[in-house]
Amino acid sequence: MDVIQQLYTLFINGAAICTDTRTISPGSIFFALKGENFNGNQYASQALKAGAAAVVIDEYVDTPDDGSTFLVDDVLSSLQQLALYHRRQLKIPFIGITGSNGKTTTKELMSRVLGKKYQVHYTKGNLNNHIGVPLTLLGITKSHEIAVIEMGANHQKEIELLCSISRPTHVLITNVGKAHLEGFGGFEGVKKGKGEMYTFAKNTNATVFINTDNEHLKEMLGGYTMIVSYGTGGSEDVSGILKGNASYVSLEWKTPDNDQIHNIKSHITGNYNFENILSAIAVGIHFKVTAHDICEAVETYIPDNQRSQEIKVGSNHVILDAYNANPSSMEAALTNFTNHFSGKRAVFLGDMFELGESAFAEHKRIAEIATSAGFDHVILVGPDFRKAASGMEAIFLENSKDASQWIQEHPLQNFNILIKGSRSSKMELVMEGLKATV
* Residue 178 pLDDT exceeds 90: no
Strands in 29-31's sheet, in edge-to-edge order, are 17-18, 29-31, 54-57, 69-71
Task: Please state the pTM of the whole predicted model.
Answer: 0.91
Instruction: Report the alpha-carbon distance of residue 240 to residue 256 in Å, rounded.
Output: 11
Q: Which residues partner with 146 through β-bridges? A: 120
Q: Which residues partner with 94 through β-bridges? A: 147
Instruction: Report the alpha-carbon distance of residue 77 to residue 84 in Å, rounded.
Output: 10
Q: What is the mean pLDDT of the chain?
A: 96
Strands in 170-173's sheet, in edge-to-edge order, are 120-122, 146-150, 94-98, 170-173, 207-211, 227-231, 238-242, 248-254, 262-269
Could you tell me if 113 and 283 are in contact, meaning their C-beta atoms sit under 8 angstroms apart? yes
Q: Which residues partner with 312 through β-bridges? A: 317
Angle between helices 187-194 and 158-166 (to 10 degrees): 10
Q: In the prediction, which pLDDT does 246 show? A: 80
* Residue 306 pLDDT exceeds 90: no
Q: Mean pLDDT, to the nearest integer, of 261-269?
A: 96
Q: What number of residues does the chain have? A: 438
Q: In the prediction, which pLDDT does 182 show? A: 87
Predicted confidence (pLDDT) per residue in 17-29, tens digit: 999 999 999 999 9
Instruction: Provide φ and ψ at 252, rounded to 5°.
Output: -110, 145
Predicted confidence (pLDDT) per residue in 368-427, tens digit: 999 999 999 999 999 999 999 999 999 999 999 999 999 999 999 999 999 999 989 999
Contacts of 27 (CB under 8 A, 6+ apart): 14, 15, 16, 51, 52, 53
Q: In the prediction, which pLDDT does 160 show? A: 99
Indicate the DSSP class of residue 423.
G
Task: Indicate left, alpha or beta for 120 from its phi (over 0: left) and psi (-120 to 50: alpha).
Answer: beta
Domain spans, the chain: 3-73, 90-299, 309-435
- Cβ atoms < 10 Å from Cβ of 129: 17
**Percentage of residues in the chain having pLDDT higher than 70:** 100
Amino acid 80 reads Q
Q: In the prediction, which pLDDT does 305 show? A: 76
Q: Does domain 3-73 have CATH number 3.40.1390.10?
A: yes
Instruction: Report the alpha-carbon distance of residue 276 to residue 267 in Å, rounded.
Output: 13
Instruction: Report the alpha-carbon distance of residue 436 to residue 122 in Å, rounded.
Output: 36
Q: In the prediction, which pLDDT does 7 show? A: 97
CA distances from 86 to 14, 90, 109, 303 (A): 13, 7, 26, 32
Task: Indicate left, alpha or beta for 167 from its phi (over 0: left) and psi (-120 to 50: alpha).
Answer: left
Q: In the prediction, which pLDDT does 15 show? A: 94
Instruction: Report the alpha-carbon distance of residue 110 to residue 298 in Å, rounded.
Output: 9
Q: In the prediction, which pLDDT does 1 show? A: 65
Instruction: Report the alpha-carbon distance of residue 344 to residue 429 in Å, rounded.
Output: 21
Least confident of 87-96, 274-283, 333-342, 363-372: 333-342
Q: In the prediction, which pLDDT does 36 show? A: 87
CA distances from 104 to 181, 307, 308, 419 (A): 20, 9, 11, 19
Predicted confidence (pLDDT) per residue in 332-352, tens digit: 999 999 999 999 999 999 999
Q: In the prediction, which pLDDT does 179 show? A: 87
Q: Which CATH superfamily is domain 309-435 in?
A: Mur ligase, C-terminal domain (3.90.190.20)
How would residue 65 be classed by pLDDT, with cut points 50, 70 and 90? confident
Right CATH for 90-299 from 3.40.1190.10, 3.30.70.360, 3.40.50.2300, 3.90.226.10: 3.40.1190.10
Least confident of 217-221, 328-332, 375-379: 328-332
Could you tell me if 408 and 437 are in contact, meaning their C-beta atoms sit under 8 angstroms apart? yes
Q: Mean pLDDT, to the nearest integer, of 227-253?
A: 95
Predicted confidence (pLDDT) per residue in 103-140, tens digit: 999 999 999 999 999 999 999 988 999 999 999 999 99
Q: At 207, is the secondary structure helix, strand, or coil?
A: strand
How would residue 211 be classed by pLDDT, with cut points 50, 70 and 90? very high
10 Å CB burial of residue 183 (0-12, 13-18, 19+) is: middle
Contacts of 304 (CB under 8 A, 6+ apart): none
Q: In the prediction, which pLDDT does 215 show? A: 97
**Percentage of residues in the chain having pLDDT higher than 90:** 91
Instruction: Report the alpha-carbon distance of residue 404 to residue 46 in Å, rounded.
Output: 40
Instruction: Provide φ and ψ at 347, rounded to 5°.
Output: -125, 135
* Residue 288 pLDDT exceeds 80: yes
